[in-house]
Amino acid sequence: MSAEFPVIAATVVGGAAPLVFAALGETITERGGIINLSLDGSILLSAMTGFAIAYKTGSVFLGFLSAGIIGALIAAVVASSTLFLRVSQVAVGFVLALMCRDLAYFLGNPYSRIQGPQLAYTPIPFLEKIPIIGKIFFQQNIMVYGSYILIFAVWFFLYKTRWGLMLRCAGENPEAAYIRGIPVEKLKFWFTVLGGFFVGIAGALYSLSVKPGWGRPQGAEGTGWIALAIVIFGGWEPIKVALGAYLFSFLQAMGIVLQDKFSSVPAQVFQVAPFPLMIFTLLFINYFNRKEIQEKALTNPVLKILSRILKANPPASLGKVFYRN
């Protein structure tokens, strides 16, 4: 095994943490039937806010908290617009993505390219000494460890708790859920806010850890759209969504490795490559979700396995305005 492997793998795990937070936050939101397209702008504004607050106060914790609150407030606007004003959540989310991006650049000018606090690495005693695995997984910062916990917490919440079941019901058939006494609007609203909070944490992870500091460009541009794509890639299943985040981080890390090995190729090629590769993966998944392929999978063992792995069914009411009957 190459001596570089643990270093590259640790980079993949650490670099995936913001995407894990953002994609799982959006998974919670979309499981309730609301799609929050403001992610890209929300991540940038949260990143700027988190860095600015941490810089002013000297507290990384307050930086993360403020970033989470910003993400939650943006998500609350999206949820309120569709639940109470009956406005298209897609249109509102898209406008917010653009507005928050420009707001982050404008308000963040005084904090651009200055040195500020960063999240410290906190190796876990004993576990960090495990050969290879310790270096990859247990010599990270506390928010990376938090991302491990979040993956299984979201899975447990969605599939093993009554609140998770009610949220999924609200996302699949809100009218039926409402008739059965489930507070559909409250569920959709508060879990959209919670999802937005995690998106905000993702923003702070960029400016306080993965890409320390603030500037224009910050380096997190486009990751909100990637997080949305990862939710689809993962079929709205927390474990598969997290794997999608690690896959994208792996592609980014490979871009850096290959850039060193093929120095004659423009660096921009390797920086951009993960994005079309992710789109290709989504097209691949969409192909396996077509009706004719699903029918062939019934008699073809290989197709059956691939179809089961790549199956992705969105919540039935995703993106639709809920009306009480």
DSSP characters over 93-141: HHHHHHHHHHHHHHHTGGGBT-----PPB-PPTTGGGSTTHHHHHSSSB
Check residue 245 and give its pLDDT: 93
Check residue 96 and give its pLDDT: 95
Q: How far apart are CA 174 and CA 78, in angstroms?
A: 18
Check residue 2 and give its pLDDT: 63
**How many helices and strands, by DSSP H and E, does the chain display?**
15, 0
Check residue 108 and give its pLDDT: 93
Residues with Cβ < 8 Å from 298, sequence gap 6 or more? 304
Check: CB of residue 244 under 8 Å from CB of residue 33.
Answer: no
pTM greater than the 0.85 cutoff: yes
Check residue 293 and give its pLDDT: 76
Q: How far apart are CA 157 and CA 82, in angstroms?
A: 24
All residue ranges of the chain with pLDDT < 50 are none
b/e map of 14-39 (b: 16 or more CB within 10 Å)? bbbbbbbbbbbbbbbbbbbbbbbbbb
Q: How far apart are CA 92 and CA 35, in angstroms?
A: 10
Check residue 217 and give its pLDDT: 84
Check: CB of residue 174 under 8 Å from CB of residue 183.
Answer: no
Look at residues 269, 198, 201, 277 and name the one whose alpha carbon lies nearest to residue 244. Answer: 277
Check residue 1 and give its pLDDT: 54
Check residue 93 and give its pLDDT: 93
Check residue 222 and give its pLDDT: 87
